[in-house]
Amino acid sequence: MKLLKPVLGTVLLAGLLSVNTAYAGDVLDKIMSTKTIKIATDANWPPQSFINDQNEMDGFDVDVAREIAKRLGAEVEFITPNWDVITAGNWHGRWDMHVGSMTPTKQRAEILSFPAVYYYTPAAVAVHTSSNITELSGLNGKKVGTGTGTTFELYLQHDLIIDAEGAPAFEFQIDNAEIKSYETSVIALDDLRLGDGVRLDGVVSSLPTILEAIENGYPLKVVGTPVFYEPLAVTVDLGDSELNSKVASIVASMRADGVLSTISKKWYGVDYATVK
């Protein structure tokens, strides 16, 4: 599996131009009547979601999305809007659901709904293998990259509040970082691999994403222990309690019958579907 691929394939972008405003019940009714669900996710965020060598969407989030669609009795259509567009809310029917490892924070809950947490993952820090940094405080005042609009960016800004169920307490361990924000932290890792201090001194990202990069030959290493753990949830737009309830029920059944654990072990080698 390659870490980075050009996102020029046949990922379906249909639906981005639709501007139907959703009201309570409308989204679920549309899904059930058309037997199709439009799910937004990232096309360049392995192993969570990416385009594989067959030019198809693949990854942990993609498998979870397909299973949700299957249990709804619908075919899934993936679309890949930018992260900041997704987190802005007010989707206006351009897609029905987001399955893309989003942390349910109080700020996001003002504009989005989080019907179900489906796994928990650690956030970690990577440096180049040639770096002399051995602890997180070694990045104080250094150039640290991450994805824009992410919990990783909020962590570096000392502005992260994770108030979702199952999230353990954490401390800010990197001070006064020169934050370099990228479209995704995968792109930040691409800059970090150029060499220690060439463009970046470190990157904050999902631990599975960092380990995936290392497995694919990136000359990186993890520093210290995870900086925080975050519950990650299926996301829907505000205003459809029926869809919320249906998704919550489906994800609960996927946890109960072990499917979430199976998908997690397939992609991560460990069970992130349960609280650690």
Same domain for 135 and 103: no
- Please tell me the predicted confidence (pLDDT) of residue 275: 66
Tokens 């989080």 belong to 114
- Please tell me the predicted confidence (pLDDT) of residue 106: 82
Query: Does the residue 88 lie in any domain?
Result: yes
Region 233-252 average pLDDT? 94
**Coil vs helix vs strand at 147:** strand
Query: Percent of the chain at pLDDT above 90?
Result: 78
Sign, CA torsion 71/121/80/219: negative
Query: Does the residue 58 lie in any domain?
Result: yes
Q: What is the CATH number of the domain that holds 44?
A: 3.40.190.10
- Please tell me the predicted confidence (pLDDT) of residue 168: 80
Residues 165, 187: Cα–Cα separation, whole Å: 30
This prediction has a pTM of 0.76
Query: Does the residue 133 lie in any domain?
Result: yes
Same domain for 221 and 96: no
Query: Does the residue 59 lie in any domain?
Result: yes
Same domain for 135 and 218: yes
- Please tell me the predicted confidence (pLDDT) of residue 276: 57
Query: Does the residue 135 lie in any domain?
Result: yes
User: Is the confidence at residue 176, as pLDDT, over 60?
Assistant: yes
Query: Does the residue 19 lie in any domain?
Result: no
Same domain for 113 and 34: yes
Q: Is the Cβ–Cβ distance between 271 and 130 less than 8 Å?
A: no
User: Is the confidence at residue 2, as pLDDT, over 60?
Assistant: no
User: Is the confidence at residue 1, as pLDDT, over 80?
Assistant: no
- Hey, how many other C-beta atoms are within 10 angstroms of the C-beta on 34? 12
- Please tell me the predicted confidence (pLDDT) of residue 190: 98
Same domain for 165 and 99: no
| Domain count within the chain | 2
User: Is the confidence at residue 4, as pLDDT, over 60?
Assistant: no
Same domain for 67 and 167: no
Same domain for 44 and 129: no
Same domain for 114 and 238: yes
Q: Which two tokens stand for residue 69?
A: 């669609």
Condensed to tens digits (0 to 9), the pLDDT of residues 67-109 reads: 999 999 999 999 999 999 999 999 999 999 999 999 898 889 9
User: Is the confidence at residue 245, as pLDDT, over 50?
Assistant: yes
Query: Does the residue 245 lie in any domain?
Result: yes
User: Is the confidence at residue 10, as pLDDT, over 90?
Assistant: no
Same domain for 255 and 155: no
Q: What is the span of the domain harbouring residue 206?
A: 120-230
Residues 83, 68: Cα–Cα separation, whole Å: 21
User: Is the confidence at residue 123, as pLDDT, over 70?
Assistant: yes
Higher local confidence (pLDDT), 204 or 106: 204
Same domain for 213 and 128: yes
- Please tell me the predicted confidence (pLDDT) of residue 166: 66
- Please tell me the predicted confidence (pLDDT) of residue 95: 96
Phi, psi of 108 (to 5 degrees): -70, -30
Condensed to tens digits (0 to 9), the pLDDT of residues 11-63 reads: 443 333 333 444 446 899 999 999 999 999 999 999 999 999 999 999 999 99
Query: Is residue 231 reached through a cis peptide bond, with omega within 30 degrees of 0 on the bond before it?
Result: no
Same domain for 144 and 74: no
Query: Does the residue 13 lie in any domain?
Result: no
Same domain for 129 and 201: yes
Region 211-218 average pLDDT? 96
- Please tell me the predicted confidence (pLDDT) of residue 8: 38
Mean of all residue pLDDT scores within the chain:
89
User: Is the confidence at residue 240, as pLDDT, over 90?
Assistant: no
